[in-house]
């Protein structure tokens, strides 16, 4: 009865009054006290066994419904002055589908599956997020840890709106963040949440504002350590310093700035991600122990304190400036999401390569004479039908020519016509028989790969018919199931091979040429974007080579005179004079 009374009193956060027996135990040596406690526990177990007909029951078989064992600092084998041991591999779980989310939900939100290390301790969950270094990269990993398990959630597989697990994850986060019973532990986790909100704006559980509840019972472990320390520990420290202060061991941060968008994660990354969230729970329990239960009596106060770095009080000027920049970045990310109509930044890692994307040229013609936001990324979004497309791998950054699956795009920047020649650095413009003609200067292709220039030259040399002709699908090729007979082959084909089909060999050679980037595969259309810095790019439509102008005849497959096919639509735009009209030459340059 005395033991139960002491446990109940500790649960309320009030130190138990010492009895004479406990006073004598305090004066006895530590080994003697532990030995007596062990004998008392053994006697109690014997009494229980005798009450059950003196038959010892075998331990129950492990099952999914049985409560796991909480791991504290002693069970983990933490030694002072050493690096923290990794979370046991059997306690680390990778979550990438609906089943994984449901298993995590059962382990985190259930009283039976989320154990405590001592009676009276509340259930806690450690939270953390990881993303590839960069100001606009989406959050790719969410870590959720209890005292027994660590769940590493692949947000790229579970958070996007088209992911099967998206609804299950949203419901789990809503129940977890809205729970007042479970305390959520984090280290400046407010910024992680804001970045997740910008990455996945469709998740209702992350939204803030009118009609959306605020996360409840959120605790910053810096405040917990501050309450537990006798000398009021500094709240301006990092997680590694905080861990060393409370646990006496070092938390490795070697993988902090690694590429978290890669799949699969390395073993080191997975171990780091699990430890980052799991040890938040260990730090909390250690602070409760050090404070003799004082932390438990001040939990609500600690929740209200929040992240000390958000308020910026008592911070050096350099730190205030850094956190102000961090908050500004979160605000800009949210604005970008709102301007994009809820675009999910989490799709950034799935951007298609431009060379693999087919441009719907007829669909783009309605945008001739209009500007695009976001520089060349905005232009790529227009050509990609609203989807994000990245520049081709291996392409020079900022090169004037960009290759797509069925198009070659030329980006021209023209200067002020009052400064320098009338043609400007983008090339010379003039009119002839009602058409707008362009002769790009050599400077236009500076930095562009020679193969890309060849492709652009070949694309502009293709004759452009009506829009209907452009939109017409290519004729279906005849399915040839066998090699042609020798008499059907042209002279020189099929000779010198290893028994393979001449057509197949040619296709393989073409594929190798395309992979090597030598530009032998022609594109179907040449397209033009122009801008006058610092203004945005404007879509100017299609380009067509003027016959006899020498396209492809120059060294390296140079570009001759080009006709702006959609010049009529471009003339009706107010941008025409700014980009072309003000720099028109009276005649063709010599």
What is the set of domains in the chain, with CATH numbers?
A: 1-32 (no CATH), 73-330 (3.30.420.10), 351-466+518-585 (no CATH)
**Cβ neighbours of residue 480 under 8 Å, at least 6 residues apart?**
503
pLDDT of amino acid 350:
56
Among 529, 542, 358, which residue's Cα sits nearest to residue 463? 542
pLDDT of amino acid 281:
95
Q: pLDDT by residue (tens digit) across 94-104?
A: 999 999 999 99
Q: Which parts of the chain have pLDDT scores under 70?
A: 1-67, 230-236, 308-351, 392-398, 416-426, 446-448, 462-523, 548-558
pLDDT of amino acid 245:
87
Torsion angle of C-alpha atoms 504, 505, 510, 511, degrees rounded to 10: 70
Give me the helix-helix angle, 221-228 and 267-290, nearest 10°: 30
Cα separation, 553 vs 551, in Å, equals: 6
Half-sphere exposure (Cβ direction) of 219: Cα atoms closer than 13 Å: 30
pLDDT of amino acid 334:
64
Cα separation, 256 vs 81, in Å, equals: 21
Q: pLDDT by residue (tens digit) across 306-365?
A: 876 655 555 556 656 666 666 666 666 666 665 555 554 544 445 678 888 899 999 999
Q: What is the pTM of this model?
A: 0.51
Q: Quick check: helix, strand or coil at residue 366?
A: helix
Enter the tokens of residue 234. 């500094």
Q: pLDDT by residue (tens digit) across 515-539?
A: 444 444 445 789 999 998 888 999 9
Burial 526-541 (b: 16+ CB within 10 A, else e): bbbbbbbeeebbbbbb
pLDDT of amino acid 307:
74
Among 8, 11, 245, which residue's Cα sits nearest to residue 120? 11
Mean pLDDT of the residues in the chain: 75
**Cβ neighbours of residue 201 under 8 Å, at least 6 residues apart?**
207, 337, 342, 343, 344
pLDDT of amino acid 469:
40
């Amino acid at each position: 009865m005395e033991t139960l009374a002491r446990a109940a009193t500790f649960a309320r956060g009030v130190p138990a009054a010492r009895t004479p027996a406990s006073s004598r135990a305090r004066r006895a040596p530590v080994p003697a006290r532990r030995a007596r406690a062990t004998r008392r526990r053994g006697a109690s177990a014997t009494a229980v066994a005798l009450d059950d007909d003196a038959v010892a029951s075998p331990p129950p078989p492990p099952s999914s419904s049985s409560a796991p064992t909480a791991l504290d600092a002693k069970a983990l084998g933490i030694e002072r002055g050493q690096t923290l041991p990794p979370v046991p591999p059997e306690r680390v779980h990778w979550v990438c589908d609906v089943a994984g989310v449901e298993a995590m939900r059962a382990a985190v939100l259930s009283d039976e599956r989320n154990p405590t290390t001592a009676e009276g301790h509340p259930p806690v969950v450690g939270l953390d997020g990881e993303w590839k270094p960069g100001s606009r990269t989406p959050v790719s990993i969410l870590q959720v840890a209890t005292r027994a398990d660590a769940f590493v959630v692949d947000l790229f597989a579970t958070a996007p709106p088209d992911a099967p697990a998206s609804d299950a994850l949203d419901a789990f986060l809503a129940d977890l963040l809205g729970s007042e019973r479970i305390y959520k532990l984090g280290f400046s986790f407010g910024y992680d949440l804001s970045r997740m909100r910008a990455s996945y704006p469709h998740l209702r559980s992350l939204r803030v504002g009118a009609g959306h509840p605020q996360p409840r019972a959120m605790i910053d472990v810096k405040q917990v350590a501050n309450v537990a320390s006798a000398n009021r520990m500094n709240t301006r420290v990092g997680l590694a310093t905080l861990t060393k202060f409370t646990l006496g061991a070092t938390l490795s941060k070697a993988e902090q700035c690694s590429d978290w968008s890669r799949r699969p994660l390395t073993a080191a990354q997975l171990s780091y991600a699990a430890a980052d969230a799991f040890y938040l729970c260990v730090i909390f329990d250690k602070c409760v122990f050090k404070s003799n239960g004082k932390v438990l009596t001040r939990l609500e106060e600690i929740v209200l304190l929040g992240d000390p770095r958000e308020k910026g009080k008592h911070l050096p000027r350099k730190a205030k400036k850094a956190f102000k920049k961090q908050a500004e970045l979160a605000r800009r990310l949210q604005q970008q999401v709102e301007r994009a109509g809820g675009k999910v930044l989490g799709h950034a890692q799935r951007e298609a390569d431009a060379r693999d994307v087919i441009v719907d040229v007829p669909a783009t013609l309605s945008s001739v004479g209009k500007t695009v936001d976001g520089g060349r990324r905005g232009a790529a979004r227009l050509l990609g039908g609203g989807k994000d497309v990245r520049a081709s791998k291996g392409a020079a950054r900022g090169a004037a020519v960009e290759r797509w699956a069925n198009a070659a795009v030329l980006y021209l920047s023209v200067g002020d016509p009052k400064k320098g020649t009338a043609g400007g650095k983008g090339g010379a413009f003039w009119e002839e028989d009602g058409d707008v003609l362009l002769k790009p200067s050599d400077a236009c292709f500076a930095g562009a790969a020679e193969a890309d220039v060849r492709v652009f030259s070949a694309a502009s040399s293709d004759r452009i018919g009506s829009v209907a002709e452009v939109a017409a699908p290519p004729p279906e090729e005849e399915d040839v199931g066998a090699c042609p007979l020798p008499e059907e082959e042209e002279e020189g084909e099929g000779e010198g091979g290893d028994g393979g089909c001449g057509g197949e060999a040619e296709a393989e050679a073409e594929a190798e040429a395309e992979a090597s980037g030598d530009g032998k595969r022609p594109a179907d259309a040449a397209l033009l974007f122009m801008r006058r810095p610092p203004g945005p790019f404007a879509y100017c439509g299609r380009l067509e080579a003027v016959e006899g102008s020498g396209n492809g005849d120059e060294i390296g497959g140079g570009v001759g005179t080009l006709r702006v096919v959609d010049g009529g639509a471009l003339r009706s735009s107010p941008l025409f004079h700014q980009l072309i009209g003000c720099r028109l030459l009276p005649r063709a340059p010599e």
